[in-house]
Amino acid sequence: MANKKITSKDVDFAQWYTDVVKEAHLSTYSNVKGCLILEPNGYAIWERMQRVLDSMFKQTGHKNVAMPMLIPENLLKKESELVKGFAPEVAWVTMGGSKNLEERMCIRPTSETLFSDYYSNIVKSYRDLPIKYNQWCSVMRWEKETRPFLRSREFWWQEGHTVHESQAEAEKETRDMLGVYRDFFEKYLAIPVVCGKKTEKEKFAGAEYSLTIEALMYNGVSLQSGTSHYFGQKFSKAYDIKFLNKQNEWEYAYQTSWGVSTRMIGALIMVHSDDDGLVLPPNIAPMQVRIIPIGNDEKIAKVAGDCLKKLNKAGISAEIDNSDQTPGFKFADAEVLGIPVRVEIGKRDLDEGKITLARRDTKQKYQIPLSCDIVSEVQKLMQTIQTEMFERAKARRDKMTYVAKNLDEFEKIMTKTPGFIIADWCGDAKCEERIKEIRGTKSRCILENEKMITGKCVACGKKAQHTVLWGIQY
Amino acid sequence: MANKKITSKDVDFAQWYTDVVKEAHLSTYSNVKGCLILEPNGYAIWERMQRVLDSMFKQTGHKNVAMPMLIPENLLKKESELVKGFAPEVAWVTMGGSKNLEERMCIRPTSETLFSDYYSNIVKSYRDLPIKYNQWCSVMRWEKETRPFLRSREFWWQEGHTVHESQAEAEKETRDMLGVYRDFFEKYLAIPVVCGKKTEKEKFAGAEYSLTIEALMYNGVSLQSGTSHYFGQKFSKAYDIKFLNKQNEWEYAYQTSWGVSTRMIGALIMVHSDDDGLVLPPNIAPMQVRIIPIGNDEKIAKVAGDCLKKLNKAGISAEIDNSDQTPGFKFADAEVLGIPVRVEIGKRDLDEGKITLARRDTKQKYQIPLSCDIVSEVQKLMQTIQTEMFERAKARRDKMTYVAKNLDEFEKIMTKTPGFIIADWCGDAKCEERIKEIRGTKSRCILENEKMITGKCVACGKKAQHTVLWGIQY
């Protein structure tokens, strides 16, 4: 009995996505074109993501700062590749009060320029390094087509920006932070990801190279879910970030940046959710348990209250649905919001000394004795849900990951059953262009430790340089 | 032995303030005119403020959301008083990419317009009310003169925006949130505040009335530290927020908004800090304890490590200074950063079975036996510091709060020993203007439950309507 307000995802995936965003009250469009409002349920997920990631960043030695939201044009222009990449899609502030500004400023589309300018003032010696700063903020990119969480003019993210005294240390940071993202996706979001390096064509403007984690959505479309960039000395030369090294010589510093965004909420929807609404893994759900009293009864109310107290005390987020709705309505409401576990407390069950636990992900129900330890039962169940959600997502991803030896095979797969395709590539951007003709397929990343499939480029047949993951992208 | 990089606050208060901000690494100006960078130490204080306040907001039933940072001009203009108040000082976005926008948008100076527009879409029935939302963000006001934390073009804050079905409920919310701010200032920041109502001249543009908490700085200047506004139906009429009430009739909703900002960091500096740098109350200090090993010795290192483990386990934030600096340097460093408690571990002390606790606020040192419970000793000491910092601030504030019966007395006080002045007022804005001639003194707030001083206006001598708190403002 699916939620009647939600289109089936197998009938119209795009409409299903829009319906889930709406019915779970995650986000809505504002009257500011292309800009979202994060509603309380959507913001609560983002807040939980922030808490977990922030603590992972701090454990790896990073500190938070806040930079201005505006970038003067001359500062933006110092790094030529970056400005080429971003200038066409920034919002320009040209007036302050009633006066025209002498120099226009853009709202940050990303903050490499601001951090680099700051670092050029504070970095003097190798003793000042490494500097490992992060900021949580929103950024603005003047996109034409927008879709909640996946692409909007303003979006919320974190951006880490670090400075190091050697290439090796900066490259290690670039990989370490990609590892933090992978762990977060797999352990908290229950989403398997493929790690790899972006091709020259797809890398971040101004980076020496970009690493990425790529996830596959239910409909076979891939989502770039987090990136970590190695800048080498590109920005330090453009912004004059020099330090006295251990040999007492001036050297340009080595930098990285890395970020994930509210796009992750889109991934949660498109990987796990179903025709009844949102499905959230327990490790990221802002509300993990909803207790549902069935009927007005003093004993039921008491048992519900006891449950709540015990769960909260154990650090499990839980709440009671005390509305005067029918049980069916209450179940559907907990389902559309993606709350991982329901505790249902009804008179008949209680008379038999039992209560019921219900899983959101599989809809399975379990009767447990009222006398048992509710905390450990719920914890066990949440662990099972977390593990099985990841395993199901991984099995589906693996099933939808294909190998293509030539363009014919490639085209057949992408036309019939889109997903990830693994295929060899010669390294020529022209072959990427050729492949893009197949439903807009792009290289997702170079698979660094993968054995070659044929040793020949899937597009031109020449000697392959890399094995590459390909996909249609959001 | 004061910190040599910091000017004495009794010699040059403004320079002292600037020096403390710089030497404690709280904030620095960016190359974006009038915009600050919050450096790690400043941001950590803000983060701690956010954690505490956010939890107080949630306990009182508020939820977080995120609104766009831009406001289209037509949306800003709907409430005529608000636009008059803010239009002269907003930053205007006029271009997106390379195209001129059809309608310019400003960067939010505050978000009543955005929230009201959103509420007009989601409020339909009394069953939807109350709605109690908050957002953490930065806002932009095109100020001419700026000073770190006190006034800058961009600043970070929270803004609560609520909607209610009755005047009584909305007015209660307005007062309740002022109470939350007062509690936060007194219990966490150790800063006593005066609560009251702004005069018509000083209230927020578009409010029916504004409540405020006012604090007094060390130099006798007052700081508006937090405000809570009752809007009545002003915004609901301008933005068409109507609901079906319990009598099944359409009614305009009642609204409030309230906010505090990074300005609170300025208050912490100007109320508590001294010529050695920052002084932070333990309840708000991001780092509460610094352990300082004196000398390189295995036993010292072991005792330091044990202390750290015990303190951290008890939820006290602590760290060890393992730098190769001299003890004197380490002490000064912990002092300039305002860390409330130092644990000093030296060889001579250890041989006698002792360690030393040092208070940042009074510089007192206490020897305690190594065998005693370090956690409870530090907790006790932190409680004492917290209480005494509040009491000292309150005693100074009370000492600097004067009563004036006429303009002569008023002028003498404000010229010689500025502070708060309590004086009666007839209610006429012309008398506020007259008083402003005395060193720019403004009404801080109407004291609602205060007995009249003379019953006559301190400026014109006519019958007084209110007893008012006056002060020179930041």
Do the bridges between strand B254-261 and strand B154-164 make them parallel or antiparallel, or are there none, so unpaired? antiparallel
Q: Are residues A231 and A348 in the same domain?
A: no
- Residues A173 and A54 occupy one common structural domain: yes
Residue B425 falls inside a structural domain: yes
Domain membership flag for residue B34: yes
Residue A198 pLDDT greater than 90, yes or no? yes
pTM of the model: 0.96
Q: CB B68 to CB A107 under 8 A?
A: no
Domain with A443, as residue range(s), is 402-471
Count of CB atoms situated within 10 Å of the CB of B14: 11
Which backbone phi and psi does B195 adopt, to 5 degrees?
-100, 145
Q: Is residue B323 part of a domain?
A: yes
Give the β-pairing of B154-164 and B194-197: unpaired
Of B71, B90, B92, the CB nearest to A94: B92
Binary contact (B66, A38; C-beta < 8 A): yes
Are residues A325 and A197 part of one domain?
no
Are residues B368 and B438 located together in one domain of the fold?
no
Q: Which two tokens stand for residue B405?
A: 């019966």
CB contact under 8 A, A43 and B64: yes
> Among partner residues B30, B75, B90, which is closest to A114 by beta-carbon distance?
B30
Q: Note whether A341 and A193 are same-domain residues.
A: no
Count of structural domains within chain B: 3
A15 in B contact zone (CB under 8 Å) = no
Task: Tell me whether A287 touches chain B (CB under 8 Å).
Answer: no
Q: Are the Cβ atoms of B95 and A92 closer than 8 angstroms?
A: yes
- Chain B, residues 108-147, CB within 8 A of chain A, namely 114, 117-118, 121, 133, 137-138, 140, 142
> Does B283 reside within a domain?
no
pLDDT at B1 over 60: no
Amino acid residing at B281: P
Which residue in the set B38, B75, B98 is minimally distant from A66, CB to CB? B38
Verify that B432 and B306 share a domain, yes or no: no
Question: Per residue in A117-139, pLDDT tens?
Answer: 999 999 999 999 999 999 999 99
Nearest chain B residue to A36, by CA:
B68
State whether B312 and B448 are in the same domain: no
Count of other CB atoms within 10 angstroms of residue B46 = 23
Choosing from A360, A387, A414, the residue where a domain stops is A387
One domain for residues A204 and A345: no
Residues A43-82, buried b or exposed e (16+ Cβ, 10 A)? bbbbbbbeebbbebbeeeebbbbbbbbbbbeebbebbeeb
B170/B226 same-domain check: yes
Q: Check residue B188 and give its pLDDT.
A: 98
Residue B88 confidence (pLDDT) above 90: no
Residue A2 pLDDT greater than 70, yes or no: no
Q: For position A31, what pLDDT does the model report?
A: 87
pLDDT at B172 over 60: yes
Quick: pLDDT tens for B45-56.
Answer: 999 999 999 999
Does any domain span residue A426? yes
B14-37, pLDDT tens digit by residue? 999 999 999 999 999 998 888 999
In-domain check, residue B351: yes
Asked whether the beta carbons of residue B154 and residue A68 sit closer than 8 angstroms, the reply is yes
The alpha carbon of A457 is separated from its chain's Cα centroid by a whole number of angstroms, namely 31
Q: State the smallest CA–CA distance between residue A194 and chain B in angstroms.
A: 31
How many whole angstroms separate alpha carbon A25 and alpha carbon B375?
Answer: 45
pLDDT in tens, A99-116: 999 999 999 999 999 999
Residues A97 and A189 both lie in one domain: yes
Show which of A217, A241, A272 is a domain's final residue: A272
Min Cα distance B216 → chain A (Å) is 28
Residues B199 and B311 reside in one and the same domain = no
ipTM of the complex: 0.96
How many angstroms separate the CA atoms of B3 and A325, rounded? 66
- CATH number, domain of B78, equals 3.30.930.10
Mean pLDDT of chain B: 96
Query: pLDDT tens digit string along B347-383?
Result: 999 999 999 999 999 999 999 999 999 999 999 999 9
Indicate which CATH number applies to the domain containing B406: 3.30.110.30
Of B272, B300, B316, the residue that ends a domain is: B272
Q: Please judge whether B31 and A91 are an interchain contact, meaning their C-beta atoms are less than 8 angstroms apart.
A: no
Question: Nearest Cβ partner of B117 from A31, A44, A47?
Answer: A31
B40 at interface of A, judged by CB pairs closer than 8 A: yes
Size of interface A-B (CB pairs under 8 A): 146
Compare all CA atoms of chain A with the CA of B262 and give the residue at the minimum distance: A66
* Amino acid, single-letter form, for residue A82: L
With CB atoms and an 8 Å threshold, state whether A93 touches B92. Answer: yes
Shared domain for B145 and B232, answered yes or no, is: yes
CATH assignment at residue A294: 3.40.50.800
Query: Is residue A7 assigned to a domain?
Result: no
